[in-house]
Amino acid sequence: MVAKAIEKTTRKEELTTLRVMVVKSVLSKKDLDTMEHSPSYAMKLLEVDQITQELRTSGWSEQSEAFVGYIEVKHEESQLDLLCSGRNGVFVS
C-alpha cells in the first residue's frame, strides 16, 4: 500500500499536522538530490507511505543542515507516523 493524497472531503478537524525534519548529513548523494527536487520524498525515506493511507505534505524549506516541512494525516494515523521518527535521518514531531 502506498499513501495517497488526502481527499478534499476530509474535514480539517479530522487532521493532525506534524513537523518533519530531514537531516542532510545522513542522506546519500542520491537521496539528497531527490529531496532537493521533490521534498515529499521524505515520506518514502520515513517509510510512512507504507503505513499511512492518506497524507499531504506542505511548507517545505531547505536550511543549511536540514529540509523542514509539514505533513497532515488523519488523527488516528498520527501516532504511527511519530513511531517512524528517526528512520533514515527523518524526524517527526
| pLDDT tens digit sequence for 48-88 | 767 777 778 889 999 999 999 998 888 888 888 888 889 99
Determine the topology of domain 15-92 in CATH: Alpha-Beta Plaits (3.30.70)
Query: What count of residues does the chain have?
Result: 93
pLDDT of residue 14: 82
Which residue in this structure is represented by grid cell 530531514? 22
Which residue in this structure is represented by grid cell 548529513? 25
Q: Residue ranges of the domains in the chain? A: 15-92
Identify which of 73, 51, 54, 57 has the alpha carbon closest to the alpha carbon of residue 1.
Answer: 51
What span, in angstroms and rounded, lies between the C-alpha atoms of 59 and 6? 16
- Residue pair 72/34 in contact by the 8 Å Cβ criterion: no
**For 18-48, what is each residue's pLDDT tens digit?**
999 999 999 999 999 999 999 989 988 988 7
